[in-house]
Amino acid sequence: MPNGVEYAVDLRRRHCDCCEFQVERVPCRHVIACCANQRLDWQSYVHDVYRMDQIRKVYRARVTVAADAHTALGRVEVAQAPISVGI
């Protein structure tokens, strides 16, 4: 690596020392570099939640539109704190 830092990648465990791969569940640049080096398809390491067929399932559900904004918000009132100005 140009900055001298090295990261270990374990594709079987879906792990990279930078932790981005585990947290985001999308290949980090180290995983993509490892896949390129081994001639593997990096897209196979993208978690299923990011696949278009899964995203479409989320938006298939019907959405009920509220009659007005008060119904949608549950009539929440917000009080503002007084502001003191030093003169």
CB 7 within 8 A of CB 16: yes
Query: Is residue 68's pLDDT more than 90?
Result: no
- pLDDT band per the 50, 70, 90 thresholds, residue 60: confident
Cα(28)–Cα(46) distance, integer angstroms: 10
pTM comes to 0.61
Q: Give pLDDT, residue 85.
A: 62
Report in angstroms the alpha-carbon separations of 69 from 1, 38, 78.
Answer: 54, 55, 15
Q: For 10, phi and psi rounded to 5 degrees?
A: -120, 100
Q: Is the pLDDT of residue 78 over 60?
A: no
Res. 21: pLDDT tops 90 = yes
Element at 9 (helix H, strand E): strand 9-10
Residue 29 has pLDDT above 60, yes or no: yes
